Amino acid sequence: MAKGLFPRAWVKKSFYFQARISFVRVKYLFLTWLTVLVGSWVLYVQYSAYTELCRGHECKNAICDKYRKGIIDGSACSGLCDKETLYLGRCLSILPNNQVYTGSWGDHDGIIRCKLGEVVHYELGEEPEPRRETPVFDKPTKGTSVEKFKEMVFNHLKSKLGEQGNLASLVSQILSVTDGNRDGRVSLPEARSTWALLQMDEVLLGLLLQDRGHTPRLLGFCGDLYMTERVPYGPLYGLSLPWPFVSWVPSGLQRTIDQWFTPSWPRKAKISMGLLELVEDIFHGTYGSFLICDLNAAHFGYTDRHELRLTNTGAVVPEDEFRRTMRVLKCETDADCVYGVDCRTSCDVSEKRCREEPVQPNLAKACGALKDYILRGAPSVMREELERQLYACMALKGNAGQMNMEHSLILNNLKALLWKQISHTKDS
């Protein structure tokens, strides 16, 4: 009897074991299939995003087509379209109609930027609509003299910067840039390229600030495609986390991590002095006053010699333009009176209009941005005094009665304190 039960029990166990193996196989087969499906979907989404964001070949084709037709010209056109010595490298674009690439041109490494028309979306299976492009190369028109073009540039600068006594010298500087082939005259295609560039505030402000070494130098242009020097180190401090991790990292931890990825203190002091000098130069500068409306570390970088560079001039706005904008802005509370990220005025509740006067000057915002950066690792002999001066700086108000004098005093004291500490080091 026992002999008859043993085979039956063994068969049941064997059947159960085989069924379990089959279940495990199906389970793993399903998981493998699911992994492949999800992976394929992620790759498709990434590829779709890349092809929409990174359209450098379209940009080059559009620019070179207009160059060959004689519509535009510039210092970079021959290298881009004829000799092919100007190369587009790695894609850095975050907006489809604003192409950004690393690039090389002969011995120069740089950043190439180019505007493209609006991306038109369409459903799978439909014929794509023609890309809508803005005709940016229609001015100046044929027959425009150089004198008339100078007048156009002058009036454009006046509308952007307000009444400035030395706009004529700025016009001459821009015309020297316009003559891309250095033949001593400005052609109509060159003028069209320059006019298109001047419509972009970031290019205009870059030209204004590059002589003082605050922005990367313009290396060349063709139409509204242009190349600037590459700033080797950026952002100013911290680590740029991949986007999936940004929302998961608490802001306090992010600030702590940021302070780990910084140069030595003497080098940080030199970089900080560069930011203070930028603030000094745009406060009642050569071409008027400017406001920095976003002091995010990502908008700044520094060179191998630890010299600060403003890499996103879109964060800077002429004060005249800021005041015009705020003057017509309606409000209920002070929270409605914001320009950019952090340029604020107060609300006149009785008039329901924003006031023109900025609440906080550039220097106060710069000191706030530098506080954690420069205090970490500061020498003990001057840390207390440095902290005191930074807090006095952060307390500056835009409408203080003696703001100009107080601004200059605090700025000079901070620069002197930092310079005294690093003047004897090789980093100075």
Instruction: Give residue-wise pLDDT tens across range 8-51.
Output: 554 455 555 555 556 556 666 656 656 665 555 444 444 444 45
Distances (CA, A) of 13 to 7, 9, 22, 24: 10, 6, 14, 16
Note the pLDDT of residue 220.
Answer: 95
What pLDDT does residue 132 have? 42
Domain extent listing, the chain: 56-116+137-229, 250-327+358-424
Alpha-carbon distance of 259 to 109, in angstroms, equals: 29
In this model, does residue 108 exceed pLDDT 50?
Answer: yes
pLDDT attached to residue 370: 92
Summarised one tens digit per residue, pLDDT across range 298-339 is 889 999 999 999 999 989 999 989 999 999 999 999 999 999
Amino acid at 168: A
Mean pLDDT for all residues in the chain: 82
What was the pLDDT predicted at 183?
A: 84
Residue-wise DSSP of 351-395: TTEE-SS-SS-HHHHHHHHHHHHHHTT--HHHHHHHHHHHHHHHT
pLDDT tens digits along 257-305: 666 667 889 999 999 999 999 999 988 778 888 999 998 888 899 999 9
Residue 315 in tokens: 């964060």
pTM: 0.79
Give the burial string for 133-155 (b: 16+ CB within 10 Å, else e).
eeebbeebeeebeeeebbebbee
| Phi–psi pair at 18, nearest 5 degrees | -65, -40
One-letter amino acid for residue 356 of the chain: E
Please report which residue ranges of 261-309 form alpha helices under DSSP H. 265-282
The DSSP bridge pattern shows strands 308-310 and 316-318 to be unpaired
Query: Is the pLDDT score of 122 beyond 50?
Result: no
Residue 119's pLDDT band, with cuts at 50, 70 and 90, is very low
Query: Any idea what DSSP says for residue 235?
Result: S
Residues 6+ apart with CB under 8 A from 82: none
**One-letter amino acid identity for 306?**
H
d(CA 141, CA 155): 17
Q: Is the pLDDT of residue 116 over 70?
A: yes
State the average pLDDT over residues 172-184. Answer: 88
Cα–Cα distance, 380 to 387 (Å, whole number): 11
Q: Looking at 198-348, which runs of residues are DSSP E strands?
A: 218-222, 225-229, 290-292, 300-302, 308-310, 316-318, 338-339, 343-344, 347-348
SS3 238: coil
Q: Is the previous residue joined to 235 through a cis bond, with omega within 30 degrees of 0?
A: yes
pLDDT digits (tens, 9 = 90+) for 367-406: 999 998 999 899 999 999 999 999 999 998 875 445 677 8
Pairwise CA distance, residues 232 & 238, whole Å: 15
- Could you read off the pLDDT of 212-247 as tens digits, one per residue? 889 999 999 999 999 999 999 888 776 565 545 555
Amino acid identity, residue 130? P
- Quickly list H helices, 54-166: 56-68, 77, 146-161
Cα separation, 45 vs 57, whole angstroms: 20
Q: Provide the b/e sequence for 387-417 (b: ≥16 CB within 10 Å).
A: eebbebbbebebeeeeeeebbeebbeebeee
Q: Is the separation of the CB atoms in 330 and 338 below 8 Å?
A: no
At residue 39, the pLDDT reads 52
Binning the chain into helix, strand and coil, the percentages to the nearest 5 are 50, 15, 35
- Cβ atoms 421, 273 nearer than 8 A: no
Computed from CA positions of residues 147, 152, 157, 158, in that sequence, does the dihedral angle turn out positive or negative? positive
| d(C-alpha 393, C-alpha 365), whole Å | 9
